[in-house]
């Protein structure tokens, strides 16, 4: 019998790939609105009690549109972002506490303020200081998990991408498509991030479960770079026209949109101790190309 894992948000960009890669090893039970479960309505989460064999609840359900969340900021706790990312997470944590299941909560690099110098990375020991409303709701979600009394893992990741997914484009496939169409692409040069190959995230998750890990872990791409550098590497890898790419500053590119911190380089040292290797952006994009051609 394969171990059973309850999953919320399994049909999304990240969850569906994790399910594809790990379904030989785990029996994923998808709970969603289509199956009558709405994390903002705690009574619907009673469905979790039907799966006594499941030891884990994988919580990936979230409102992740950074600018969309910022537009709701004035609504505060009445916003959809707050209801899903904070109250929903409180509800999931509580049902996990009641049933003795471990919650694995997917969080984000955005919980940090990005003020560290360019040569430094954030570790799990660093104190979050969110700078936009999306980040605030995700950090409040983290605090709800930590304070719930349930056993937990908080897994922070960043800018996930994969080779194929029809329902939603990640930034890699969006950029690739624009360049293929001959459209101009403007990319920020003063923002540092660690785009994460979702296939590696699946390996990281498997390792955390195998080791019965606890607490906060970072699992992001193994290299930090600017979006401008990333876009140029996408163009180079797929033989697309680099002359279509221009650089921009955060202040101009995100004018009247949610604040993007400067340095969101996260350290993978902690998860690396579990023998998890997160590929660099260059390695990940080459693997995407390989999968697309196979």
| pLDDT tens-digit readout, 149-197 | 999 999 999 999 999 999 999 999 999 999 999 999 999 999 999 999 9
Question: Taking Cα atoms as reference points, which of 266, 204, 274 lies closest to residue 18?
Answer: 204
Report the phi/psi class of residue 202: left, alpha or beta, with left for phi > 0 and alpha for psi in -120 to 50. Answer: alpha
Tally Cβ neighbours within 10 Å of residue 88: 25
User: With a threshold of 0.85, does the pTM exceed it?
Assistant: yes
Residues 36-45, mean pLDDT to the nearest whole number: 97
Tokens at 45, concatenated: 């989460």
Question: Taking Cα atoms as reference points, which of 154, 137, 279 lies closest to residue 222?
Answer: 279
Contacts of 274 (CB under 8 A, 6+ apart): 207, 208, 211, 213
* pLDDT band at 290; cut points 50, 70, 90: very high
Task: Please tell me the distance from the alpha carbon of residue 141 to that of residue 91, in angstroms, as a whole number.
Answer: 10
49 versus 294: the higher-pLDDT residue is 49
* pLDDT band at 1; cut points 50, 70, 90: confident
* pLDDT band at 138; cut points 50, 70, 90: very high
Tokens at 101, concatenated: 């299941």
- Check whether 249 has a pLDDT greater than 90: yes
pLDDT digits (tens, 9 = 90+) for 92-124: 999 999 999 999 999 999 999 999 999 999 999
Question: Taking Cα atoms as reference points, which of 41, 156, 49 lies closest to residue 108?
Answer: 156
Percent of the residues in the chain that have a pLDDT greater than 70, as a whole number: 100
Diameter of the chain measured on Cα atoms: 57
Q: Please tell me whether residue 235 adopts helix, strand or coil conformation.
A: helix
């Amino acid at each position: 019998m394969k171990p059973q894992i309850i999953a919320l948000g399994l049909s999304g960009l990240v969850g569906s790939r994790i399910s594809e890669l790990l379904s030989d090893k785990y029996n994923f039970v998808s709970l969603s609105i289509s199956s009558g479960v709405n994390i903002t309505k705690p009574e619907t989460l009673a469905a979790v009690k039907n799966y006594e064999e499941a030891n884990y609840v994988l919580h990936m359900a979230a409102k992740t549109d950074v600018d969309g969340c910022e537009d709701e900021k004035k609504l505060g706790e009445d916003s959809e972002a707050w209801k899903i990312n904070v109250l929903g997470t409180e509800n999931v944590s509580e049902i996990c506490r009641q049933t003795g299941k471990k919650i694995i909560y997917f969080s984000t690099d955005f919980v940090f303020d990005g003020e560290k110098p360019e040569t430094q990375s954030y570790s799990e020991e660093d104190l979050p200081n969110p700078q936009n409303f999306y980040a605030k709701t995700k950090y409040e979600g983290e605090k709800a998990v930590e304070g719930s009394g349930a056993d937990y893992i908080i897994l922070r990741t960043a800018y996930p991408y994969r080779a194929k997914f029809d329902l939603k484009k990640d930034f890699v496939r969006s950029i690739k498509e624009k360049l293929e169409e001959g459209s101009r692409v403007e990319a920020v040069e003063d923002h540092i991030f660690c785009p994460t190959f979702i296939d590696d995230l699946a390996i990281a998750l498997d390792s955390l479960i195998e080791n019965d890990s606890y607490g906060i872990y970072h699992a992001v791409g193994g290299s930090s770079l600017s979006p401008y550098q990333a876009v140029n590497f996408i163009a180079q890898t797929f033989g697309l026209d680099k002359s279509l790419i221009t650089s921009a500053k955060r202040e101009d590119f995100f004018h009247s949109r949610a604040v993007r911190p400067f340095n969101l380089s996260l350290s993978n040292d902690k998860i690396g101790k579990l023998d998890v290797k997160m590929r660099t952006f260059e390695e990940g994009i080459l693997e995407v190309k390989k999968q697309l051609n196979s």
